[in-house]
Amino acid sequence: MKEMLNIKNLSAGYPKKRIFEHFNVTDIDAGNIVALVGPNAAGKSTLLKSIASLINVQGEINLGNDNLVQLSQENRSKIVGYMPQHQKTDVELTVLEALITALKVSPLDHNDNSEQTKTKAFDVLEQMDLIDIALEPLSNLSGGQRQMASLAQAIVRKPQILLLDEPTSALDLNHQITVMKMIKEYASKGNIVIMVLHDLNLASRWADILVVLNNAKIYSSGKAFAVVTPTMLKEVYQVEARVENCSNGYLQIMVDA
Amino acid sequence: MKFLKSFCILFLLALSANAQQVIIKDVLGRTVTLKKPAKKVLLGEGRDLITLNILDPNPVNLIASWSADFKKGSEYADYKAAFPAIDKVPIVGTNAETFSVEKAIASKPEVAIFSIKGHGPGQTHKEIISALQSAGIPVIFIDFRTDPFKNTVPSMRILGKVLNKEKKANEFIAFYEFRKKRIADRIAKARPARPKVFIDMKAGTTENQFSTAGKGNLTPFISLAGAKNIGEDVIPAPLGQLNLEYILTADPKIYIATGVDSFRGKGVVLGKDIPATEARQSISKRVADPVLSELTAVKTGKVYGLWHLFYASPFNILAAEAVAKWSHPTLFKDVTPEASLKELNQKFLSVPMTGTYFISLK
Amino acid sequence: MSVTNQHIPVLKAKRKEVEQLYAKKLSRRWLVLIALGIACLLSFCLDISTGPSLLKFSDVLKALFTPDSVAKGTSIIIWKVRMPYAVMAVLVGMALSLAGAEMQTILNNPLASPFTLGVSAAASLGAGLAIILGIGIPFLSENWIVSGNAFIFAFGSVLLLQALAKWRGAGVDVLVLFGIALVFTFNALVALLHFIATPEALQQLVFWNMGSLARSNWDKVQVLSIVVAIIIPFSMLASWKMTALRLGEERAQSFGINVKRLRFFSMLRISFLSATAVSFVGTIGFIGLVGPHIAKMLIGEDHRYWFPASLLTGALVMSLASVASKLLVPGALVPVGVVTSLVGIPVFLYLIIRKGKK
């Protein structure tokens, strides 16, 4: 299970528009959390989708000896889970039904009996403190609740690689921390989490590796201390800012302008 | 004195112009004034060419332009043989939707003759009517379809006046009224029981569809003939569809199918150049329907056929004669619609109607 | 997640409670399905026992179970007239409503119905060619030419749409636009047919378009029931994946679902269901839209329940419309297509208003 993720020579994009050419991110260890950061339109979501092979990709995404690109969609879905950035708002399914559906179409879980499925679903609901809204239709939820429910749909299938597109964008401070703690715990079981984040403080605080994307290319990558620098902020974001070391040991960005 | 003389001439001229003026009340009660009788008309329904043939041996000469519906029927070939010019008559459309006001005006008719409802523009097509009127083309409505029992004679009278063929029109009206009165008098005197009649219009053209006359159209002619049309009580419009179950329950004693030559291959055929054997075959096929074959009328062999276009033609009185004879054979022993048709051909139609227009299956 | 120890008992109790509520909800759904089934059965009985001949209910029952014990006319009315119409109503309602439900999901559009993408417009064109020009499939008997043509065109239109979508790699929105383009094209071609039609044939086509159960007979009932019986299991097999598609196309894909394939087979099912139904009875509007919506209000969106509920609501609405069309003008034949629209519009407006309030 303890396999490394290596992305090599990845080219991806849409039928008429290539986004990435020969893209490489290597040596992502099991248990790591990777944060993709960068300005708007840097290609963060597209990179996430190409790792999930939701768009046309060439190249290699190797987990151990398996090239995920070569796998069938079904087999890939046993390994890779994905939470899209936007959730549909007109869905009448309840939070619980959505989780049960996610399990029932999973090649790993679809043979479960209904009791097993229900247990798996309720475990995740409990873990994410969603029991209270389990029987609410998704269309009735607030944006934050819907985001939590969406995360639950990805996590319930227990993918080895969990891809999250802005999992905290609609959450209040308390829920941001709840979600991040849960993600940390999930990764610590030997899974890899790759997520798009806008909040650099949050990324610095929780991610093991930060990848800064700019114009569909990697500007820099590595530990927060190495990556989040005033120079990067100026060059990538065009923002004058200081990066301070807080007493708790984490980075804090102070914008001057 | 000179002044008085010229005044007199002017007055006489004006008088003679007035003398030519035609004032008409059409079947909708609209008053229409023509400066003089028309020589060229726009025909809203092409099939009324036969109606015009009652009034004039060369009806094609009377048409400025017309609707193309008549071109699909086989009568057209006969008219074409007699009047080759018919091919050059401008066509203004095939129905109200395709009616071209521009072509109509360009054909310079002196008057437009429309049916109040039918296959050409009708009374509801206000835009067409007002466009023609503003182009100086008065519109006159006739009717052989909605309430022909009331409107056939007035319509013929109107056409006679418009075309200055009143003599011929009156002759036809006499022919018509004589037959109408003959039936009415005998029924009134004998007061026979009224057998129930189902008139299966356009029989067999669409599976399980039973078009029939309701209030209006041929129903009053069936009543005149001393019979009871089962569609009368349930269909509020002149024409409509009957529920099959209702037909079974009403269980008519007389079954009449209507058809025309264009239904060949689909349903019942009668009319122009149709041999009696073919007409009989088509009707037999229709009444072999698993449900219709259960009707008393079919079981007892009281199965007949009529030319479909009697439902929109001044010859409707011939249909009444046929129904009268079929319903009360002894009472109308001496009346034969075939003889009336013969008289019609001799007295009125330069292009005779030949073929099977009435038939008994037995 | 920071679940401190003292919270655990509270949470366990809560979980238990929600689990019970969920179980209750599931059994309520079964109850709704059973109730709908009973309502369909009652409506079917009502359909069989109403008609212009005002047969006594006891005679109806006798004709049903001991056809020899009643007058021949009565048994003909029941078995050859009312029965095929009533069964056809139920089957057509099922077929169009299920097709509508599938369509709403794969197009991600609550306003979609089998007619959105031109199925009925294509069927009209096929029927029109047969009625007006006499163009039809060779060797087909007279009674089947119009239906045969309508089916070929309706089915072909869906395949054409698939091909267009595949060729351009188009998404759902483009698919809908293609469909709308097809609707207008077919309508224009039908209008062109109107121009060259004889008046009698034109009336026939207009009537065909209104939709009528009167075109039913046992052969057609048989064909449609086979189609419906074959398609339903496939729809049910796809129900989990279809539910997943409701969560979003990307999400479904990430679940390992081949969405293009799912959509293609759903389209295939839709075209079989709607093309067969429409080719037999003509254009019957709103069932495909209203049936699934009523079902959704009653039972939610879990397709395992929503599909069967749509089948039943479609059958129920159609069966009631059939009764209404008989009662509206007794003895005359009011095209059932007209009645379904009249029944459908108030329900539809109610849905819109309800949605607006929300």
Query: If you classify domain C2-357 with CATH, what class do you get?
Result: mainly alpha
Q: Do A102 and C255 touch (CB under 8 A)?
A: yes
Q: Which residue has the tokens 């993600």?
A: A183
Q: Do A91 and C246 touch (CB under 8 A)?
A: yes
Q: Is A122 on the interface with C (CB under 8 A)?
A: yes
C260: closest chain A residue by CA: A73
Instruction: Please tell me which residue, C281 or C227, carries the higher pLDDT value.
Output: C227
CA A63 – CA B67 distance, rounded (Å): 78
Confidence of residue C319 (pLDDT cuts 50, 70, 90): very high
CA C292 – CA C288 distance, rounded (Å): 7
Cα–Cα distances in Å, from C264 out to A248, A254, C39, C163? 55, 53, 33, 10
Q: Give the range among B187-201, B288-302, C94-108, C206-220 with minimum mean pLDDT.
A: C206-220
Mean pLDDT of chain A: 90
Closest CA–CA distance from residue A41 to any residue of chain C (Å): 19
Q: Give B287-320 pLDDT, tens digit per residue.
A: 998 889 999 999 999 999 999 999 999 999 999 9
Q: Give B121-171 pLDDT, tens digit per residue.
A: 888 899 999 999 999 999 999 999 999 999 999 999 999 999 999 999 999
Residue C73 has pLDDT above 70, yes or no: yes
Q: Is B263 on the interface with C (CB under 8 A)?
A: yes
Torsion sign (Cα): C299, C300, C303, C306: positive
- Which of B178, B184, B197 has the alpha carbon at shortest distance from B331? B184
Closest CA–CA distance from residue C21 to any residue of chain A (Å): 8
Q: Which of helix, strand or coil describes residue C329?
A: coil
Residue A254 has pLDDT above 80, yes or no: yes
Quote the pLDDT of residue B282. Answer: 96
Q: In b/e form, how buried is each residue of C259-298, taking b as 16+ CB within 10 angstroms?
A: beebbebbbbbbbbbbbbbbbbbbbbbbbbbbbbbbbbeb
Residue B26 has pLDDT above 90, yes or no: yes
CB-side neighbour CA atoms (13 Å) of A54? 20
C241: closest chain A residue by CA: A105
Nearest to A54 among C169, C250, C301 (CB): C250
Q: Is A98 on the interface with C (CB under 8 A)?
A: yes
Q: Do A84 and C250 touch (CB under 8 A)?
A: yes
Instruction: Please tell me which residue, B6 or C32, carries the higher pLDDT value.
Output: C32
> From the CA atom positions of chain A, what is the Rg in Å?
18
* Phi, psi angle pair for B70, to nearest 5°: -70, -25
CA C221 – CA C214 distance, rounded (Å): 12
ipTM value for the complex: 0.91
Q: Is C30 on the interface with A (CB under 8 A)?
A: no
Q: Do C332 and B249 touch (CB under 8 A)?
A: no
Instruction: Please tell me which residue, C12 or B216, carries the higher pLDDT value.
Output: B216
Q: Is C250 on the interface with A (CB under 8 A)?
A: yes
Q: Do A105 and C22 touch (CB under 8 A)?
A: no
A75 CB neighbours in chain C (<8 A) are 256
Q: Is B334 on the interface with C (CB under 8 A)?
A: no
Q: Give A89-131 pLDDT, tens digit per residue.
A: 889 999 999 999 999 999 888 888 889 999 999 999 998 989 9
Please report, as a single letter, which amino acid is at residue B228. K
Q: Do C198 and B262 touch (CB under 8 A)?
A: yes
Quote the pLDDT of residue C2. Answer: 46
CB-side neighbour CA atoms (13 Å) of A24? 5
CB-side neighbour CA atoms (13 Å) of B294? 19
Residue B337 has pLDDT above 60, yes or no: yes
What is the pTM assigned to this prediction? 0.84
Q: Do C194 and B236 touch (CB under 8 A)?
A: no
Q: Do C25 and A181 touch (CB under 8 A)?
A: no
Inter-residue contact C40 to C315 (CB < 8 Å) = yes
Q: Is C251 on the interface with A (CB under 8 A)?
A: yes
Six-digit token string for A23: 């893209």
**Mean pLDDT, rounded, for C60-67:** 85
CA C205 – CA C189 distance, rounded (Å): 13
C240 CB neighbours in chain A (<8 A) are 101, 104-105, 110
Q: Is B299 on the interface with C (CB under 8 A)?
A: no
Domain boundaries along the sequence of chain C:
2-357
Task: Let me know if chains C and A touch, i.e. at least 3 Cβ pairs under 8 angstroms.
Answer: yes
Inter-residue contact C353 to C232 (CB < 8 Å) = no
Q: Is A146 on the interface with C (CB under 8 A)?
A: no
C197 CB neighbours in chain B (<8 A) are 94
Instruction: Please tell me which residue, C79 or B342, carries the higher pLDDT value.
Output: B342
List the chains bordering chain B where 3 or more Cβ pairs fall under 8 Å: C
The set of residues, in sequence order, having a beta carbon less than 8 Å from that of B42 and lying 6+ positions away, is B63, B64, B65, B66, B92, B104, B107, B109, B111, B112, B113, B132, B137
Which residues 1-60 of chain B have a CB within 8 Å of chain C? none
Closest CA–CA distance from residue B173 to any residue of chain C (Å): 28
Q: Do A105 and C240 touch (CB under 8 A)?
A: yes
Q: Is B133 on the interface with C (CB under 8 A)?
A: no
* Phi, psi angle pair for C318, to nearest 5°: -65, -40
CA A163 – CA A34 distance, rounded (Å): 10
**Mean pLDDT, rounded, for C305-327:** 93
Task: Let me know if chains B and A touch, i.e. at least 3 Cβ pairs under 8 angstroms.
Answer: no
CA C70 – CA C232 distance, rounded (Å): 37
CA A6-A9-A14 angle, 5° bins: 110
CA A133 – CA A154 distance, rounded (Å): 17
**Mean pLDDT, rounded, for A156-176:** 93
Q: Do C243 and A97 touch (CB under 8 A)?
A: yes
B206: closest chain C residue by CA: C204
CB-side neighbour CA atoms (13 Å) of C232? 18
DSSP chain A: ----EEEEEEEEEETTEEEEEEEEEEEE-TT-EEEEE-STTSSHHHHHHHHTTSSEEEEEEEETTEEGGGS-HHHHHHHEEEE-S---S---SBHHHHHHHHHHT-TTTTTS-HHHHHHHHHHHHHHTT-GGGTTSBGGGS-HHHHHHHHHHHHHTT--SEEEEESTTTT--HHHHHHHHHHHHHHHHTT-EEEEE-S-HHHHHHH-SEEEEEETTEEEEEE-HHHH--HHHHHHHH---EEEEE-TTS-EEEEE--
Q: Give the range among A109-123, B211-225, B311-325, C62-76 with minimum mean pLDDT.
A: C62-76
C80 CB neighbours in chain B (<8 A) are 290-291
CA B336 – CA B346 distance, rounded (Å): 16
Quote the pLDDT of residue B66. Answer: 94
User: Among A17-26, A84-93, B219-228, B266-275, which range has the highest average pLDDT?
Assistant: B219-228
DSSP E strand boundaries for B105-204: 111-115, 139-142, 196-200
Nearest to C244 among A94, A101, A129 (CB): A101
Inter-residue contact C137 to C279 (CB < 8 Å) = no
Q: Do C254 and A77 touch (CB under 8 A)?
A: yes
Closest CA–CA distance from residue C270 to any residue of chain A (Å): 22
Q: Do C254 and A134 touch (CB under 8 A)?
A: no
Closest CA–CA distance from residue C235 to any residue of chain A (Å): 15
C217: closest chain B residue by CA: B208
Q: Is C15 on the interface with A (CB under 8 A)?
A: yes
CA C165 – CA C106 distance, rounded (Å): 13
Quote the pLDDT of residue B355. Answer: 93
- Which of A49, B318, B117, A209 has the alpha carbon at shortest distance from C199? B117
- Which of A174, A172, A130 has the alpha carbon at shortest distance from A151? A130
C146: closest chain B residue by CA: B206
Q: Do B233 and C53 touch (CB under 8 A)?
A: no
Residue B353 has pLDDT above 60, yes or no: yes
Cα–Cα distances in Å, from B332 out to B185, B226, B323, C83? 11, 11, 10, 43
Question: What is the H or E stretch that residue C163 is in?
Answer: helix C142-168
Residue C216 has pLDDT above 60, yes or no: yes
CA C8 – CA C1 distance, rounded (Å): 12
Nearest to A181 among C2, C241, C251 (CB): C2
Residue B29 has pLDDT above 60, yes or no: yes
Residue C3 has pLDDT above 50, yes or no: no
Best residue of C50, C82, C198 to probe chain B, by most B CBs closer than 10 Å: C198
Inter-residue contact B95 to B124 (CB < 8 Å) = no
Closest CA–CA distance from residue A122 to any residue of chain C (Å): 7
Q: Which residue has the tokens 């291959």?
A: B265
**Mean pLDDT, rounded, for C259-269:** 90
Quote the pLDDT of residue C357. Answer: 60
Residue A2 has pLDDT above 70, yes or no: no
Six-digit token string for B222: 């069936």
**Mean pLDDT, rounded, for C343-358:** 69
Q: Do A84 and C22 touch (CB under 8 A)?
A: no
- Which of B232, B251, B229, B243 has the alpha carbon at shortest distance from B297? B251
Q: In Å, how far from its chain's centre is CA C26?
A: 25
User: Among A55-59, A224-228, B187-191, C267-271, which range has the highest average pLDDT?
Assistant: B187-191
CA B244 – CA B207 distance, rounded (Å): 11
B208 CB neighbours in chain C (<8 A) are 214-217
Which residues 100-119 of chain A have a CB within 8 Å of chain C? 101-102, 104-107, 110, 118
Q: Is B248 on the interface with C (CB under 8 A)?
A: yes
CA C166-C167-C168 angle, 5° bins: 95
* Phi-psi category of residue A158: left, alpha or beta, with phi > 0 → left and psi -120 to 50 → alpha: left
Q: Give B90-133 pLDDT, tens digit per residue.
A: 999 887 778 899 999 999 999 999 999 888 888 889 999 999 99
A159: closest chain C residue by CA: C255
B234 CB neighbours in chain C (<8 A) are 52, 329-332
- What are the beta bridge partners of residue C79? none
Mean pLDDT of chain B: 92
**Mean pLDDT, rounded, for A52-77:** 89
CA B346 – CA C257 distance, rounded (Å): 81
A155: closest chain C residue by CA: C255
Q: Give B249-287 pLDDT, tens digit per residue.
A: 899 999 999 999 888 888 999 999 999 999 999 999 999
Q: In Å, how far from its chain's centre is CA B93?
A: 20
- Which of A159, A184, A31, A62 has the alpha carbon at shortest distance from A106? A159
Q: Do C217 and B207 touch (CB under 8 A)?
A: yes
**Mean pLDDT, rounded, for A120-145:** 92
Residue C127 has pLDDT above 90, yes or no: no
A105 CB neighbours in chain C (<8 A) are 240-241, 244, 252, 255-257
